[in-house]
Structures are given as structure tokens and as C-alpha cells.
Amino acid sequence: MAKVKKQKNLQRRKAIAGYIFIAPFIIGFIAFMVMPLLESLRMSLSSVTIYPGQGGFVLDYIGIKNFKDAFLVDSEFNRFLTEELSQMLIQVPTTVIVSLFMAMLINQTFKGRGLVRAIFFLPVILSSGVLVGLEYDNSLLSGLEAYITENSQVTSITSVLEQVLSNSGFGTRFLNFVYDIINNVYNVVMASGVQIIIYLSGLQTISASMYEAAKIEGCSAWESFWKITLPMVSPMVLVNIIYSIVDFFMRSDSDVMTKISETMIIKMDYGFSSAMAWVYFVAVMLIIAVFSLITSRWVYYYE
């Protein structure tokens, strides 16, 4: 009885500590995000008239017309949204799997391990400003890219592979899937830094005695991965799936995000842009719910 009571007290203290850690986010969300979300929802159901000189706007309720226009009238939104979802189905699983094996690799004991870990996490730091500037604002790199495109038949990483494997007998659909993964290697590596850190935190909680016992019992490294490593880091897999989905849909080069921004800023159509934003938001939440439901069935939680 005392042991059960002690466990309940421990779980309660852990829960309190967890709520304390997320309290700043909850307070910030309530203070700064709830009102803009409600205002955006009102705009999506209204025709918004802007008065720049007076610094205000007027909302005329029109129901779900903006949502109908997004699906039935606009010629780009559906296409952009479909392409975004198809790319997500490739990049998110690839990122989650690649980051797991990278984390397992740099979790090994070897000289210079700290340096290697820093290198793997470096893209996350650089992508916050320096690398983005090199990608989009560097005239030298832009000129080199244009010159290579004009004077070379190799237009992508997979151009040579396409020439070699075109007559190999593999299915075209399978090869296209492989090509998409290879062409997205840069994006996968750039998006894997946080996931690697999360996986490392899970891998380092696994006791070495479990692997030693498995080795004594005759388990191979492959069997140890499936029976020990993967079940023990499965909660981190779920976290990384959710994080990767959100990170993918929030990237700055998303066609859907670009269209929403241009509709709001350039065309000044706040109602239609709000409707598209809400459709995008609901689609992302549904995808997260489906992936979480599927993944949570085999997540292993241990004390």
C-alpha cells in the first residue's frame, strides 16, 4: 500500500514538473495567440474591406464562401496543397528514419564524437540565418547555378542514376520514389538536427546492461535493434514524427504558405487568405492526428 502511494506521489510530482515547464508556452499562447486565431476565423467567414488611411477594416459576414472559393474556384490552392501532402509523405518518414540512424551512429564511443555531433547539428544553427542568406541572396551562387544549368545536361542529383537505371527493369514508380528521396537528401539533412538530439536523449537512457544481456543470450546487433533499441526509443519516434510534420508544413519555401502570404499582403484579400490558412491548419492537424494514432499503437512506455 505504501509502495503504491509512493508511486502515485512520484507521478504527481512528475506531472507538476511537466506543467511548470510548459506553463510559459501556455501563458504565451493564451495571451498572444488566442485572439489572433479567433480574429482570423472571423475573417475567413467574412468579406474584409480595408481602410488604410483610417487604419482599420470592416467585416461583412458571407458564410463559407471563402472556403468554397479555395476548393472550387481557385486553380492553384488545391494543386499546391496536394503537392505539399505528397512531398510530406516522402520527406517526413525519410527524415525520421535517417535521423534515427544518424543518432545511433554518433551515439557510439569514438574519438572526436563531440565534434561529429556538432557537425550534425550545425545545419540547424546555420539555417536560422547564414545558410538561408547564402541560398537566396548570394548572386555568385545564383550565377554559378545558371551557368551550370546552361552548360550541363546534369540538372539534378539523380540525372546520372536515371540514365543508368532507365533500362534496369525496375518499376518506374519505385524509381521515381527513390529519385525523390535522393533529390531531397539536402532537405532531409537540414531538417534532421533537432530529431537527432531527441533520439540521442532517448538512446542515452538505455542501459548498457540490456545490450550485454542480449549479447550473452546470442542476439545479433540487428536483433538487438528491433528488440531493444527501437522499442525503447519509440516515444521519441512519436515526438519526432509530430515535430517533423509541423516543421515541414511551416517551412518558408512552402508553395501553400507563399500563396497565403501573397494573397494577404499583395492582394489585400484577408478573408480568402484566412480561409486558406484555416484549411491548411486543419489539414495539418488531421495528418498529425492520423500519424499519432497509428504510431501510438506500438509506442512502448517503460518506468
pLDDT in tens, the chain (303 residues): 666 666 678 788 888 888 999 999 999 989 888 898 898 999 999 888 877 665 677 888 888 999 998 888 888 888 898 888 888 888 888 889 888 988 888 888 777 777 777 776 766 666 554 454 444 445 544 554 555 455 555 555 556 556 655 555 555 666 666 666 666 666 777 777 788 888 988 888 888 888 888 888 888 888 888 888 888 888 888 889 999 898 888 877 788 888 988 888 888 888 999 999 999 999 999 999 998 888 888 877 665
Q: CA-CA distance, 224 to 158, in Å (whole number)?
A: 34
Q: Count CB neighbours of 241 within 10 A.
A: 20
DSSP 286: H
pLDDT of residue 250: 82
* Every domain of the chain and the residues it spans: 33-107+153-296
Taking every pair of C-alpha atoms in the chain, what is the biggest distance, in angstroms?
79
Q: What is the CATH number of domain 33-107+153-296?
A: 1.10.3720.10
- Closest to 48 (Cα-Cα) out of 271, 274, 300, 272: 271
pLDDT of residue 286: 92
Query: Is the distance from CB of 90 to CB of 180 less than 8 angstroms?
Result: yes
CA angle 288, 292, 298 (to 5 degrees): 160
- Closest to 96 (Cα-Cα) out of 289, 261, 295, 271: 295
pLDDT of residue 180: 66
Residue type for position 51: Y
pLDDT of residue 176: 67
What are the start-end ranges of the E strands in the chain? 46-51, 56-61
Residues in the chain: 303
CA atoms within 13 A on the CB side of 183: 16
Cell (9 digits) for 272: 480568402
Helix (H, G, I), strand (E, B) or coil at 239: helix
pLDDT of residue 6: 67
- Closest to 245 (Cα-Cα) out of 285, 300, 299: 285
